Amino acid sequence: MAAVPGGRRSGPAAGARFFCTAGRGLEPFLMREVRSRLAATQVEYISGKVFFTTCSDLNMLKKLKSAERLFLLIKKQLPFNVSSVSKGKIFNEMQRLTNDDPESWLNAISIWKNLLELNAKKVKLSQKNANPLKRKVGENDIIAKKLKTAEMQEIQEKKECQVEKQIEEETLEQGNFTTKRDKSQEELQNDVAEAVDTHNQNDLTFRVSCRCSGAIAKTFTAQEAGRVIGIALMKQFGWKADLRNPNVEIFIHLSDIYCVVGIPVFRVPLASRAYIKTAGLRSTIAWAMASLAEIKAGAVVLDPMCGLGTILLEAAKEWPNCHCLQKVSILLFPIFHLGKSLS
């Protein structure tokens, strides 16, 4: 399930279930990181993936350094039995991923939308706070417009008072009719709200990204599995497939150990660092190596054979109060010239 049981709570405050992909051997680092950085609970792992529950927003989730990609969990279940089952039966079991528990899909989509909306509101608020001078530009024009609108409102209110006096007598005679009309309007508004919600769900475009490994990969291709699950989603929820620019991407990993379904939270992987311009050592491995040094404020981090300096970049970004040094070539320079003069 995408959220902690106990009712359909769509907000991240209710605690959402996520999972991250990690390089081989980095699962312990990622488990410690989600506990310390996100205050995550129900942390567990399988080979290459770490599952956890947290109430953190997107800004906090972006700070994970030992994870490759982050997904909002929809389902996790036992693998399909492909040893003695026909291909058609396996496809039927795949379709049951969507048909048996549609509530988990809708709940995950709702949580995913709430995360994006909450992040968009925070971005707008930060932009307003970052530009206080822009709000003062044209302040006099705004005040003048407010005065004009106030004058227009006063004139409008006088006209409305005259009209209200004429209507009061008519409304008293038609009291029963107005009460019935109000009730019908409330029912109509509720129906419209429900229709808008279902309309938004039906207008959702999606793409299925499937990965198969182990014995399942020998039985059918990832494209075949993705096509079967995509058709099931269109029939179940009325979503539309869009391979180029979908609203949401559905990630499915089918292996001999588990079947995992999730929604990528970010389009760009967490392992892609904006501050690393040239790729060298994998950023997740570099961060893990730097974390093993137990760097503290004021410490000196030396990497004499740094190459592209990925470890130092990760250390400087994570611990900004430390001092990072690339090379120690000052001592080697006189020794080289001394040997050259003796020869």
Distance, in Å, from the CA atom of 134 to the CA atom of 128, rounded to the nearest integer, reads 9
| Residues facing residue 86 across a β-bridge | none
| Residues facing residue 74 across a β-bridge | none
Pairing mode of beta strands 49-54, 16-21: antiparallel
User: Within a domain: residue 153?
Assistant: no
User: Within a domain: residue 294?
Assistant: yes
User: Within a domain: residue 243?
Assistant: no
The pLDDT-based confidence of 128 (bands split at 50, 70, 90) is: confident
* Helix (H) and strand (E) counts in the chain: 12, 10
Q: Would the pLDDT of 12 be above 80?
A: no
User: Within a domain: residue 151?
Assistant: no
Angle, CA of 208, 28 and 40, to the nearest 5°: 70
Please check whether residue 206 is in contact with residue 250, taking contact to mean a CB–CB distance below 8 angstroms. yes
The tens digit of pLDDT for each residue in 170-184 reads 555 555 544 555 555
User: Within a domain: residue 7?
Assistant: no
Please check whether residue 76 is in contact with residue 51, taking contact to mean a CB–CB distance below 8 angstroms. yes
Cα end-to-end distance, the chain, whole Å? 74
The tens digit of pLDDT for each residue in 45-61 reads 999 999 999 999 999 99
- Residue 309, domain extent: 273-333
How many structural domains is the chain composed of? 1
Q: Would the pLDDT of 200 be above 90?
A: no
User: Within a domain: residue 120?
Assistant: no
User: Within a domain: residue 301?
Assistant: yes
User: Within a domain: residue 328?
Assistant: yes
Show the tokens assigned to 119.
Answer: 């992040």
